[in-house]
């Protein structure tokens, strides 16, 4: 049986294996699963990842170009908003609402990958993080915390507390301007930031953002 999916696309106009550059040093240790796996479900093995590396800050800033939200399992979750709205030059308003239909959620994880845009480009940075543990921890995964702070999730979303999550996950009118700079060693150009959102180790929704680093 083919599972129906829900797709929202906005285009501007009007770990799991953690991947790092050679300068980075990473150690990962797999944790054995205690839950039986169903062949019908897409399971996501989780690892504890420790990372130590230097991250120079870009001289320019990161520009949002387009965003795509895709509900893989619309019976579990629906995308009711997925919008990048231009306010004025180099300033945009981001609003996303993911409505949970089977809450509360007490087990959640997020996979993030960053790669240059283009055919068959390798992943430059990638990690998977236990969202419940991450939000409840004092010593957070270093790379995950970089993206969490870059996206200002602690300010503009209701993902600023530990599990459970009920009702909806909201990115509430995040204001993106020239002050946004991704503190990673990247050359200027076009990139794709891909995120995969899991509940109970099953993929529920993807949110992909096309960005550009400029001087």
Question: Class of the 6-27+47-214 domain?
Answer: mainly beta
Q: Whole-prediction pTM value? A: 0.70
- Residues constituting the chain: 215
Which H or E run contains 143? helix 142-150
Q: What are the structural domain ranges in the chain?
A: 6-27+47-214
CA distance 82 to 95: 6
The most distant pair of C-alpha atoms in the chain lies apart, rounded to whole Å, by 52
The beta strand positions in 119-201, using DSSP E, are 123-130, 168-176, 189-199
- Structure-block tokens of residue 42: 């897409």
215 residues of the chain, pLDDT tens digit each: 444 444 444 443 323 334 444 334 333 344 444 444 433 344 444 333 333 233 333 446 788 889 999 999 999 999 999 999 888 877 888 999 999 999 899 999 999 999 988 878 888 988 898 988 888 877 677 878 877 877 777 778 888 778 898 888 888 888 877 667 777 778 888 999 999 999 999 999 999 999 888 87
């Amino acid at each position: 049986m083919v599972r129906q999916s829900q797709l929202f696309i906005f285009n501007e106009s009007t770990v799991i294996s953690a991947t790092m550059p050679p300068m980075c040093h990473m150690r990962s240790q797999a944790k054995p699963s205690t839950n039986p796996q169903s062949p019908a479900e897409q399971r996501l093995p989780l690892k504890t990842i420790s990372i130590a590396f230097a991250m120079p800050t870009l001289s320019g800033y990161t520009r949002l170009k387009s965003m795509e939200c895709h509900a893989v399992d619309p019976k579990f979750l629906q995308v009711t908003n997925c919008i990048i709205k231009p306010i004025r030059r180099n300033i945009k308003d981001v609003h996303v609402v993911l409505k949970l239909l089977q809450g509360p959620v007490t087990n959640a994880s997020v996979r993030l990958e960053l790669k240059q845009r283009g055919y068959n480009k390798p992943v430059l940075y990638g990690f998977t993080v236990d969202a419940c543990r991450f939000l409840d921890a004092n010593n957070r995964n270093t790379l995950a915390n970089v993206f969490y702070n870059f996206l200002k999730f602690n300010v503009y979303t209701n993902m600023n507390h530990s599990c459970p999550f009920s009702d909806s996950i909201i990115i509430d009118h995040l204001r993106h301007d020239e002050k946004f700079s991704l503190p990673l060693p990247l050359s200027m150009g076009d990139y794709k930031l891909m995120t995969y959102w899991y509940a109970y180790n099953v993929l529920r929704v993807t949110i992909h953002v096309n960005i550009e680093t400029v001087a």
